[in-house]
Amino acid sequence: MFLKDKAFYIASKKTGLVLSTNGYTEEGTKITVQNKLWQFENGFLINKSSSLVLDIIGGDLRVGQKVNLWGRKKTMTHNQRWGIRDGYIYALADPRLVLDLEVTYEGTHIVTNSRRVENNDLQQWTLIPFAEEE
């Protein structure tokens, strides 16, 4: 379950690295694995520094699509709404489609992939609450 009304990091269980925006926060920014805060609201994963949401590029719910930041849509949100269960972050419109790490010569990217039961360590995520200093 996502942490309601709280900021959190989304960390890869395999690497311990967390989702980041590679320093840019405008629409179309590619998602990398680094160090950023997120919030959850009505299925949207919202980047705290930009208020943009996690988005499957082009709205196409299929394997191999890259994930980036985009403005929160009011309609046709099927590629922007997410759930979490058993360590998988999945598209609400197709729970078989999950976030996965893709390691290439260009770096590590977040892509969509079919949920795997075995050899799924790059598809497993954990939420780490952000402790604000008082």
Domains of the chain with CATH codes: 8-129 (2.80.10.50)
pLDDT, the chain, mean:
86
Specify the range with the lowest mean pLDDT, choosing from 12-16, 52-56, 67-71, 76-80: 12-16
Q: What is the pLDDT of residue 33?
A: 44
The mean per-residue pLDDT over the stretch 28-54 comes to: 80
Task: Identify the CA nearest to 90 among candidates 29, 35, 57, 43.
Answer: 43
Q: What is the pLDDT of residue 103?
A: 80
Instruction: Using a pLDDT cut of 90, give the percent of the chain over it.
Output: 57
The segment with the largest mean pLDDT, out of 11-15, 33-37, 90-94, 129-133, is 90-94
Rounded Cα distance, 52 and 73, in Å: 10
pLDDT tens-digit map of 12-24: 888 887 777 666 6
Task: Identify the CA nearest to 45 among candidates 63, 66, 20.
Answer: 20
Residues 6 or more apart whose Cβ sits within 8 Å of residue 8: 2, 37, 38, 39, 40, 127, 128, 129, 130
Tokens of 77: 């949100």
pLDDT tens-digit map of 75-127: 999 999 999 999 999 999 999 999 999 887 777 889 999 999 999 999 999 99
